[in-house]
Amino acid sequence: MERILDINLYVHIGAGFATLIFFWIQIFSRKGSPLHVFSGRLFMLAGFMVAGAAATSVILRGHGAYQQGITIFSDPDGFQAAAVLFYISVMVSVFLWAGAVLARYHHRTDDLPLPGLLLRAVIAIAATAAFAAYVFILKPALWPALAGAFALGLNACWDQVKLLFRRGADPKRRLAEHVTNMFGAGLAFHVAFILLGSERFIDIWQWGATPPIVLVGVVILIGIVSEKRIRRSILRGPAASQ
């Protein structure tokens, strides 16, 4: 069993790096080119592998690996972990809202709809908090609390899969939705990657986690503003981006 878990861990980590590599290949490659399309598909596949490996680890290990007769009610560290998780959620929420406000202000319009990835991000934060609370009641476990970020990415990837079958939709709106989906998926995995990577070097559940959280917030903010600018340019034509 330990050998299987080790292999699963290697798949999880390797697919995580592959996800980010393929994401940036499709960003810098010529849009619509074979490289762009192929790297985008590999990005989605690697993303599903990351989440699948994470879920497999939880299923194979079960909660027995974390539960040692200590619960959040008898372990003070559990309360601190829950408090820091709430702090992280608030920080991410603030950056999400700041991104939305900047997007509206930049285009100087009140009727600019919020991008779909904002709704997904809110759902992801709620999923993270709910899942982490469930785990903390048993025993504080670290990385599974980031399940919400993976949920965000998988939701965006699944929306992209559904978009492939909507042949009758307006081409501009299809392209705009494609941009939103891929931005949403990319942001999700960047958030998870930064937080998980930080956890390897610092105690992410202490208040010293602020730097990586701020970095995550900046990534989200830039992503939201960029996505809105590109989406608006697609829907309204070149003049709208000026």
- For the question of whether the overall pTM of this predicted structure is more than 0.75, the answer is no
What is the per-residue pLDDT for 29? 86
Domains of the chain, by residue range, sit at: 1-61, 71-241
Half-sphere exposure of 136 (CA within 13 A, CB side): 23
Which pLDDT belongs to residue 82? 52
Q: What is the Cα 90 distance to its own chain's centre? A: 16
Please give the structure tokens belonging to residue 191. 């958030």
| DSSP letter, residue 165 | T
Q: What is the mean pLDDT of each run of 10 residues along the chain (242 residues)?
A: 78 85 87 85 79 69 44 49 53 54 50 49 54 49 50 60 62 74 74 66 53 67 71 65 42
pLDDT at 230: 76
Report the pLDDT value the prediction gives residue 232, as an integer from 0 to 100. 75
